[in-house]
Every structure is written in C-alpha cells, then in structure tokens.
C-alpha cells in the first residue's frame, strides 16, 4: 500500500453515484492523479471540489 500527501489544483470534477465524485488533480510532486471523493457533492465538500481550487491531498492506494 502506498500513501502520500501533497498540494494540488483541482482540474475537473465528475459526479459518480449519489454523492461522490471523481476528482482530477495536478499535484506539485506527483503529477496528475484522479480519485474518488466520498461525499464530494455534499454541502460541506461541494465548495472544495471546484475546478481551480488549491487543495491539500492525501492519497492511499494499492497496486495489484
């Protein structure tokens, strides 16, 4: 399992399911990444998940 944290700029957001979204980011150290954000379309997170926003990113994934 790999884990890292970085700052990134939100490039795009696509709705997925009822409240989640696939968010595409451009990070300073790790380049372009996309990932699923639980509750991205909720009233709390909706403002963070807008194109052009600078966000702090923590990513954890496994490679098979």
pLDDT in tens, 3-31: 889 999 999 999 998 889 999 999 989 89
* pLDDT (mean) for 40-60: 86
CB neighbour list of residue 64: distance below 8 Å, 6 or more residues apart: none
Q: How confident is the model at residue 64 (pLDDT cuts 50, 70, 90)?
A: low
The secondary structure of the chain in percent helix, strand, coil, rounded to multiples of 5, reads 0, 60, 40
Q: What pLDDT is recorded for position 43?
A: 82
Gap between the Cα atoms of 11 and 29, Å rounded: 16
User: Can you read off the two tokens belonging to residue 27?
Assistant: 């990070």
For the chain, the structural domain boundaries read 2-59
Model-level pTM?
0.80
Q: What pLDDT is recorded for position 58?
A: 86
Name the CATH architecture for the domain at 2-59. Answer: Beta Barrel (2.40)
Q: What pLDDT is recorded for position 4?
A: 87
């Amino acid at each position: 399992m790999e884990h890292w944290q970085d700052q990134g700029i939100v490039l795009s957001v696509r709705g997925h399911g009822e409240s989640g979204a696939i968010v595409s980011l451009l990070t300073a150290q790790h380049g372009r990444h996309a990932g699923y954000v639980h509750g991205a379309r909720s009233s709390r997170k909706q403002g963070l998940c807008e194109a052009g926003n600078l966000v702090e990113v923590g990513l954890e994934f496994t490679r098979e």
